[in-house]
């Protein structure tokens, strides 16, 4: 494949309708929304380069923003359509490579089933150390005296 470059105006015109429009925040607090085109360029840079999200160049929005939108686009199936529109069959190959790199977390039901299949050893009911009954056990008493003068 050729080295990565940001998408052109023509390519952006083809994929812009595929990307969901983000609604502006109702409150005026917080950061303004990042430009969708530059977020897409950041996502494509990570997919194309195979680098980690935190290694993204500073010319793109924050890697957290790009990763968050990547996950949303991936779960909604938008990313596959965009990659197909931009790269054709090579885009599907890049998507499959990225899916293989993604961390997968087991859903709660699957995790519970796994825990049931492999029970953890339980703690013993009795304390690990029991003093012998023949030795009388006296309560511990601490005699605290202050190291400072005139302290009571």
Whether 36 shows a pLDDT value over 80: the answer reads yes
The predicted pLDDT at position 34 comes to 86
Whether 103 shows a pLDDT value over 90: the answer reads no
Please check whether residue 97 is in contact with residue 83, taking contact to mean a CB–CB distance below 8 angstroms: no
The predicted pLDDT at position 40 comes to 92
The predicted pLDDT at position 133 comes to 60
The predicted pLDDT at position 58 comes to 92
* Integer Cα distance of 82 and 14 in angstroms: 9
Instruction: Quote the mean pLDDT of the chain.
Output: 75
Whether 60 shows a pLDDT value over 90: the answer reads yes
Give the pLDDT mean for 109-130: 55
């Amino acid at each position: 494949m050729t080295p990565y470059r940001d998408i052109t105006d023509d390519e952006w015109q083809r994929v812009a309708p595929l990307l969901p429009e983000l609604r502006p925040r109702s409150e005026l607090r917080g950061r303004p929304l990042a430009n969708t085109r530059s977020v897409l360029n950041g996502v494509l840079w990570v997919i194309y380069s195979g680098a980690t999200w935190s290694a993204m160049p500073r010319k793109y929005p924050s890697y957290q923003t790009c990763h968050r939108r990547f996950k949303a686009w991936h779960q909604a199936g938008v990313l596959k359509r965009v990659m197909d529109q931009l790269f054709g069959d090579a885009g599907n190959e890049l998507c499959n490579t990225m899916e293989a790199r993604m961390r997968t977390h087991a859903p709660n039901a699957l995790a519970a089933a796994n825990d049931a299949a492999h029970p953890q050893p339980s703690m013993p009911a009795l304390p690990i150390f029991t003093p012998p009954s023949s030795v009388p056990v006296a309560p511990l008493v601490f005699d605290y005296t202050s190291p400072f003068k005139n302290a009571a």
